[in-house]
Amino acid sequence: MKKKFNKEFIIGLSVIIAIVILFFGIDYLKGINLFQPTNYYTIEYKDVAGLEKSAPVTINGFKVGQVRDISIDYSHPDKIKVTLALNKDLRLPEDSRAELASTLLSGAYVNIRLGSSDKMMAVGSEIQPMVSADLMTALQQDVMPAVSNILPKIDSLMYHLNQLAGDPALQQSIQRLDGITNNIMLTTSSLNSQISGQLPGIMSGARTAMVQLDTITGNLAILSRDLKTLPLQPTVDNLQRVTANLDQFSRQLNNQNSTLGKLTNDPALYNQLNTVAADIDSLIVDIKRNPKRYISIKLL
């Protein structure tokens, strides 16, 4: 009888332990840590918009707690009470707001927007709610009107594209482009063949030009060497002396007091020379007319 009692006791104790483990395991899978100290706060929403228990509570994207319970007051169905379990070290300013937000993948969650008040909220207090527009609402309010405005333009664009694609002129232009492309390919092939045929002659001419260029370069080198051996300094000295003499001669011509200057600049001498020339000319004419006057011939 004693062994039977011990067996039943062991079975019962095992069931109790299994139930406790199952309870804590379910909470653990939900993300609830019963051994971590938490502070509880409440929020009242009119619509929880898919918020469920164990949903995360974040501040600037960092998880600081989770939704512990969601309940409704049936006497006031427009109020849904949400209980938050937050980290015990977290202190909330009195003007903080609990924003109900949602994402496409993770669903609804609570995002706490910290206030700037110096006075902190007491544990167990009610946080003021704040509801942000969900994804579908944002799509309906922002995206859908823009899409509605774009759709008529897209329809008009497709209509004009269809007309353009069915235009015979476009098909003819495409055919002409094909012909032009074929002509360009033929021209390119012809140029390649001509260049290939003329390339040896071009290379031979280039080699001849290089040989001539080498010869010219050699001649220039010889000319440069010969110029170096020429007595250039005496030639330069002679040129300087000739230049100095020419300069002196030019100054004498320009100087009215010099003989050369008087010859070139004195009009009286010029007039006298003209008079003498005229007298000599008249004398020669008179001698030709009256030679007996100037030449006396006596006959014996």
Residue, of 219 and 8, whose pLDDT is higher: 219
* pLDDT of 57 over the 80 cut: yes
pLDDT of amino acid 37: 58
The residue among 138, 74, 132 whose CA lies nearest residue 108 is 132
5: region left, alpha or beta (phi > 0 left; psi from -120 to 50 alpha): alpha
- From start to end of the chain, where are the E strands? 38-45, 56-59, 62-72, 80-87, 97-103, 107-113, 128-131
| Mean pLDDT in residue range 142-158 | 76
pLDDT of amino acid 170: 73
pLDDT of amino acid 93: 92
Q: What is the pLDDT of residues 154-163, one digit of tens each?
A: 877 887 777 7
Q: What is the pLDDT of residues 225-251, one digit of tens each?
A: 777 777 767 777 788 888 888 887 777
* pLDDT of 4 over the 70 cut: no
Which residue type is seen at 27? D
Q: What is the pLDDT of residues 198-229, one digit of tens each?
A: 667 777 778 888 888 888 888 888 888 777 77
**Chain center to CA of 94:** 51
- For residues 92 and 113, the answer to whether their CB atoms sit within 8 Å is no
* pLDDT of 137 over the 80 cut: no
Residues 121, 32, 77: CA angle, nearest 5 degrees = 60
Reading the block at residue 20, the tokens are 């406790």
**Chain center to CA of 189:** 39
pLDDT of amino acid 193: 76
Q: How far apart are CA 110 and CA 101, in angstroms?
A: 6
Q: What is the pLDDT of residues 93-107, one digit of tens each?
A: 999 998 888 876 667
Q: How far apart are CA 129 and CA 42, in angstroms?
A: 10
pLDDT of amino acid 41: 92
Residue, of 144 and 41, whose pLDDT is higher: 41
**Least confident window among 2-6, 72-76, 119-123:** 2-6
Reading the block at residue 113, the tokens are 């927007």
pLDDT of amino acid 300: 45
pLDDT of amino acid 96: 92
pLDDT of amino acid 299: 46
Sign of CA dihedral 10, 15, 18, 23: negative
The residue among 69, 40, 41 whose CA lies nearest residue 128 is 41
Provide the 8-state DSSP code for 98: E
* pLDDT of 56 over the 80 cut: yes
Q: How far apart are CA 108 and CA 43, in angstroms?
A: 15
For the chain, what are the domain ranges? 1-30, 36-132, 231-285
